[in-house]
Amino acid sequence: MEHLSRHWEERRAPTLKDVARAVGVSEAVASVVLNGARSGTRVSEHRRQEVIDAAARIGYRPNSLARALQAGLNHRIGFYSGRQAIDARSLFFTELLGGVCAGANAQDSNLVLLTAADSELRLLELLTGASLDGLILQCRPEDEIFPLLEDLRIPAVVINDAESLCLPVVGVDEVQGGTLQAERLAEKGHRHALYKQSRSLTLSVQRRMTSFVARARELGIRTTIRYQDDFDEPIDAADIALVSKGPDRATAVVGWHDHAADLICARLTEAGLDVPGQVAVLGFDGFGSYYTPRFRLSSVRAPWFEVGRTAVSLMAALMRGEQVPHITSLPVEFVPGSTD
């Protein structure tokens, strides 16, 4: 095993870390010299030459994104999720990445999946080393990648929750979705609804709930908002009591997405409540066609596949030098099921 490890160590391509170690400087200094990374680090001419000589001696080759772009397209599109893991079991990522892949295929490009590095410098090296033609971002607005976009100098499109940034944003019409949920409950005669919200208050999730509450109020429906602390346990004993006891009990529960709504249906049934006879349940996302749920949810169908494909289409337009809208919001639709 030691022999194999040593053999691989000899065969692998030299890294920036190897160059820094050879000269006795930090990786940041080596990156400033070899990759042109922006930094407050000052490097003397003597030290700069030492780094260049060491890189040549050990065979290090900088993979500069700028040089790659000057040479032409690399046919690589990056999808960056920040510190959020890309979970293949997540139906959201299944749809979204399916659309991004379809968009990349239409552009004759490969898709590179990227997540956050442990430092800003490593993140910059990771992204530039991938030689990307464009970048699709699905991360929070405070992610460390956004200050680096000027250095990357590549087209970027954001999916959801970044309207405050000067970048194109693609998402679904969350306001329309919340409104459709409230109107459905009013149509069914409900007057008190329990809204189960995520603790992860992204702008889109917050906007979805706010629009529901506002429209429900207009329609004479009172909303009780409670937050979901456990991803896999969206409803607790207090919630079950609210929908099962008293003359003013909530007769409907709105889950912030389909996974929560499906689990809510299961917990209510386990508690002896009839869905929808005693309690109606609504979801959001409309993923029912991708798995066999225990309940055929009444839900708002959000076109996440089209969001992914549209993001790549906008990015391609940016690469051609075209102007694109700041915000692109795709319509949603209510899909009746058996839970309301």
pLDDT mean values, one per 10 residues, the chain (340 residues): 40 75 87 68 83 86 50 78 77 92 93 76 71 87 81 84 82 96 97 92 88 98 92 89 93 93 93 95 80 78 96 91 92 94
Which CATH superfamily is 2-62 part of? lambda repressor-like DNA-binding domains (1.10.260.40)
The structure tokens listed for 260 are: 């929560």
The three-state secondary structure class of 220 is coil
**What was the pLDDT predicted at 261?**
92
Domain boundaries, the chain: 2-62, 68-167+306-322, 174-303
Residues found in the chain: 340
At residue 139, the 3 state secondary structure works out as coil
Half-sphere exposure of 324 (CA within 13 A, CB side): 24
Tell me the pLDDT tens digit for each residue of 178-189. Answer: 999 999 999 999
Per-residue confidence (pLDDT) for residue 117, from 0 to 100 = 64
Strand runs (DSSP E) across 108-161, as ranges? 110-114, 134-137, 156-159
Q: Supply the pLDDT for residue 67.
A: 46
pLDDT of residue 330: 97
pLDDT of residue 10: 47
Q: How many CB atoms lie within 10 A of CB 154?
A: 21
Beta strand 333-335 pairing with 298-301: antiparallel
pLDDT given at position 232: 78
* Strands laid side by side in the 327-330 sheet: 110-114, 76-80, 134-137, 156-159, 169-172, 327-330
Whole-angstrom Cα Rg for the chain: 25
For residue 320, the 8-state DSSP code is T
Q: How buried is 98 (Cβ within 10 angstroms: 0-12 exposed, 13-18 middle, 19+ buried)?
A: middle
What's the pTM?
0.76
Residue in 280, 289, 293, 220 with CA at minimum distance from that of residue 250: 280
- Phi then psi dihedrals of residue 124, to 5 deg: -60, -40
Name the token pair of 297.
């949810």
pLDDT of residue 41: 63
* Architecture of the 68-167+306-322 domain: 3-Layer(aba) Sandwich (3.40)
Exposed / middle / buried, residue 236 (Cβ in 10 Å: 0-12, 13-18, 19+): middle
The type of residue at 245 is: K
If you classify domain 174-303 with CATH, what class do you get? Answer: alpha beta
What per-residue confidence (pLDDT) applies to 337? 92
Q: Assess whether the region 68-167+306-322 and the region 174-303 belong to the same CATH fold.
A: yes
